[in-house]
Chains A and B, each alone.
Chain A
Amino acid sequence: MTTSLADVATSNATLRTFLHGLPGVDRVGADQRAAMLATRSIKTTAKAQAIDLAIGMVDLTTLEGADTPGKVRAMCAKALHPDPADPSVPRVAAVCVYPDLVAEAATALRGTGVKVASVATAFPSGRSSLDVKIADTGFAVAAGADEIDMVIDRGAFLAGDYVKVFEEIVAIKAACGAAHLKVILETGELSTYDNVRRASWLAMLAGGDFIKTSTGKVQPAATLPVTLIMLEAVRDFLAVSGRKVGVKPAGGIRTTKDAIKMLVLVNETVGEGWLSPDWFRLGASTLLNDLLMQRQKMATGRYAGPDYFTLD
Chain B
Amino acid sequence: MFEYAPAPESRDVVDIRPSYGLFIDGEWVDSQGGELHKTVNPASEEVLAEVAWATEADVDRAVSAARKAFGVWSALPGSERAKYLFRIARIIQERSRELAVLESLDNGKPIRESRDVDLPLVAAHFFYYAGWADKLGYAGYGPSPRPLGVAGQVIPWNFPLLMLAWKIAPALACGNTVVLKPAETTPLTALLFAEICAQADLPPGVVNIVTGAGQTGAALVDHPDVDKVAFTGSTEVGRRIARSVAGSGKKVTLELGGKAANIVFEDAALDQAVEGIVNGIFFNQGHVCCAGSRLLVQESIETELLDALKRRLGTLRLGDPLDKNTDIGAINSAAQLAKIRELSDLGEAEGAERWSPACSLPDKGFWFPPTIFTGVAQSHRIAREEVFGPVLSVLTFRTPAEAVEKANNTPFGLSAGVWTEKGSRILWMASRLRAGVVWANTFNRFDPTSPFGGYKESGYGREGGRHGLEAYLDV
Contact = CB atoms under 8 A, between A and B. Distances in A.
Tell whether A and B belong to one assembly. yes
A232 B271 contact: yes
Contacts of B3: 45-46, 49
Interface in B191-240: none
B268 interface: yes
B332 interface: no
A33 B325 contact: no
- Ranked nearest first, the 5 interchain pairs of A and B with the lowest CB-CB distance are A29-B272, A41-B7, A26-B269, A41-B324, A23-B270
B275 interface: yes
B2 A39 contact: no
A184 interface: no
* Size class of the contact patch on chain A: 20 to 34
A29 B441 contact: yes
A39 B112 contact: yes
Interface string A36-79: 00011111111101100100000000000000000000000000
Interface string B281-325: 000000000000000000000000000000000010000000011
A29 B2 contact: no
Contacts of A39: 112, 116, 324
B2 A49 contact: yes
A43 B7 contact: yes
Contacts of B5: 42-47
12 contacts: A23-B267, A26-B421, A29-B272, A29-B276, A29-B442, A30-B271, A39-B116, A40-B325, A43-B6, A44-B5, A263-B2, A275-B2
Nearest to A23: B270
B1 interface: yes
A307 interface: no
A30 B4 contact: no
Interface of B: 1-7, 112, 116, 267-272, 275-276, 315, 324-325, 421, 441-442
A42 B4 contact: yes
A192 interface: no
A24 B269 contact: yes
A33 B324 CA distance: 16
B4 A40 contact: yes
B321 to A, nearest CB: 14
A41 B275 CA distance: 20
A40 B268 CA distance: 27
B255 to A, nearest CB: 26
Nearest to B276: A29
A29 B116 contact: no
A53 B269 CA distance: 32
Contacts of B116: 39
Contacts of A7: none
A137 B322 CA distance: 53
A267 interface: yes
Contacts of A53: 2
Contacts of B1: 272
Contact of B269 (A23, A42, A272): A23
Contacts of B2: 46, 49-50, 53, 263, 267, 272, 275
A267 B315 CA distance: 9
A28 B275 CA distance: 11
